Structure 1
Amino acid sequence: MIQQETNAVITFRKVDFEKDAVMLHQWHHEPHVIPFWHQNLSFSQYAKHLKGLLTDRHQTLWIGMMNGEEISYWETYWAKDDIIGRYYDAEPFDQGVHLLIGDTSYLGKGLAKPMLQNIMQQMFSDSRTARIVAEPDTRNAKMIHVFKKCGFVPQKELTLPDKQALFMICTREDFERRLTSDL
């Protein structure tokens, strides 16, 4: 999809272990990623972790691309089947999203918002999904700001096993309203 804000073609493809493991391992070792993802593991540990994620049927792993350049990593998941489903009244088709910009040359360029909007459109293309949830680390002010710009509304702080999180929800209506106000 061509994003008006960036005049760029944003696409997503599913993670392929053979093609992406080394790149994803490197991205998870970037200084801006480590505090929020905690996956600065050895390659063998990370490879085992990634293989586990790829066989987990409640989520899909994506590589986000800008004009064909691989720049980001995404996880979309069914919230009810995820740990977050224990912390709120999850509907059967609520989806959730995690993301990181891995390629450091793309940091600070305002790309997280259009990329998030793009994947949210993809998630909401499932007509059964009325809400998308996110639970960014409370210290990650930049991502919280991006989520708000895309229509997410903070609900409450949560203590999750791996972080102190701000639980946020975006309804289909809030997302569509936010998209049309950006035009």
Structure 2
Amino acid sequence: MSPSDATADAVSAPAPDVGTGTCPAPAGDGIAEGAARSTGRSTDREDTLDLRLPDEFLALFDTGQPRSDDTDTGPDSGTGHKGWQQSWGDSTAPASTITPADGDLLDGVAEWGPITTQVGVFQLVPVRVERDLPLVCRWMNDPAVSAFWELAGPQNVTEDHLRSQPADDGRSVPCLGVLEGVPMSYWEIYRADLDPLARHYPARPHDTGIHLLIGAVTHRGRGLGSTLLRAVADLVLDRRSACARVVAEPDLRNIPSVTAFLNAGFRFSAEVDLPAKRAALMIRDRSLRDLL
């Protein structure tokens, strides 16, 4: 297997999405570690109390979208795709997420829209718990994923993780990655400068972090990881004019994951000690996006 093929799916990032980093990546189709654990977002809620913004301020970010419809059906129990596509594809269904006031601090991820990549049309669709929980939970219980994200178990484990992010004032938006109409990956787009991660590196205002895991087994080992990472990093820079850098923090020992970020135009910046791992700080600079 070529280096690019081996690293294509090893993407997820720090320890919220791009877990922990205590386990090395599984051989072959490794899914990079989830970042929530290493940054402490999920395990130490007191870390972010000083970052909470008043409701009056958050109201300024209200996108005016309708709230989610709790009656939407979840993913089809057979393929995991049919029921999801029917729900999302319904033009009458709200496109809302679980973020507060239907807004976020990331310039409206829900409104970023689809992008065309060399592997097909791709879109980040903010998670709707009532619709997407069974699918995300199934991915989290994949041994290759749970080794880094540590979210294996009953649905309430995954649900608590998903719902904890809106409680952080919209600084992190969990999304499904939808490729050619099929949900095949899980992403977290987050404000790295407002995250505990900022305590461990010289953060700049509006630094935006990425966590990613390739959830569908059929999409692993196909070289998709680096392609989608580059596309999403470009999307962040295109949609967030105030953001000059996209960052990620894969486990330093996870060579496939680090290589995937390098292949996606990120540069290795430094080694950083996070609560649950020693990470490779990866950065995609706006100023260098056309050179890497």
Same fold (TM over 0.5): yes
Confirm or deny that 1:116 pairs with 2:229. Answer: yes
Deviation at 1:170, TM superposition (A): 1.3
Confirm or deny that 1:91 pairs with 2:91. Answer: no
Of residues 53-62 and 11-20 in structure 1, the stretch that sits farther from structure 2 once superposed is: 53-62
Aligned-residue Cα RMSD (Å) equals: 1.4
Confirm or deny that 1:20 pairs with 2:142. Answer: no
Whole-angstrom CA distance in 2 between matches of 1:17 and 1:103: 18
CA contact (8 A) 1:3 1:10 kept: yes
Superposition pairs of residues 78-157 of structure 1, within 5 angstroms: 78-125=191-238, 126-157=240-271
CA contact (8 A) 2:269 2:283 kept: yes
CA contact (8 A) 1:156 1:166 kept: yes
Among 162, 177, 184, which residue is 1:50 paired with? 162
Q: Deviations over 1:84-130 (max 9, x none)?
A: 10011111111111000001111010111221122112210211111
Which amino acid in structure 2 is aligned with residue 146 of structure 1?
A: A
Q: Deviations over 1:26-62 (max 9, x none)?
A: 1111122122212113322221222112432111111
CA contact (8 A) 1:64 1:115 kept: no
- When you count strand as a share of all residues, which structure comes out higher? 1
Whole-angstrom CA distance in 1 between matches of 2:157 and 2:195: 22
Q: Deviations over 1:52-74 (max 9, x none)?
A: 12432111111111111100000
3-state SS of paired residue (2:291): helix
Whole-angstrom CA distance in 2 between matches of 1:2 and 1:87: 35
CA contact (8 A) 1:93 1:128 kept: yes
Whole-angstrom CA distance in 1 between matches of 2:116 and 2:222: 17
TM-score by length of structure 2 reads 0.58
Deviation at 1:83, TM superposition (A): 1.5
Q: Percent identity of the aligned residues? A: 33
Q: In the alignment, which residue of structure 1 is the partner of 2:274?
A: 160
Q: In the alignment, which residue of structure 1 is the partner of 2:185?
A: 72
In structure 2, stretches of 5+ residues that fail to align are 1-114
Among 36, 40, 45, which residue is 2:148 paired with? 36
Whole-angstrom CA distance in 2 between matches of 1:86 and 1:96: 14
Which amino acid in structure 1 is aligned with residue 221 of structure 2?
A: G
Deviation at 1:81, TM superposition (A): 0.9
3-state SS of paired residue (2:197): helix
Whole-angstrom CA distance in 2 between matches of 1:161 and 1:105: 33
Runs of 4+ in structure 1 off by over 3 angstroms are none
Q: Which has the larger radius of gyration?
A: 2
Of residues 102-111 and 147-156 in structure 1, the stretch that sits farther from structure 2 once superposed is: 147-156
Q: In the alignment, which residue of structure 2 is the partner of 1:181?
A: none
TM-score by length of structure 1 reads 0.90
Q: Deviations over 1:128-179 (max 9, x none)?
A: 111111000123222211100122111222221232211111101222323x
Q: In the alignment, which residue of structure 2 is the partner of 1:59?
A: 172
Between the two structures, name the one with larger relative contact order (CA 8 Å, sep ≥ 6): 2
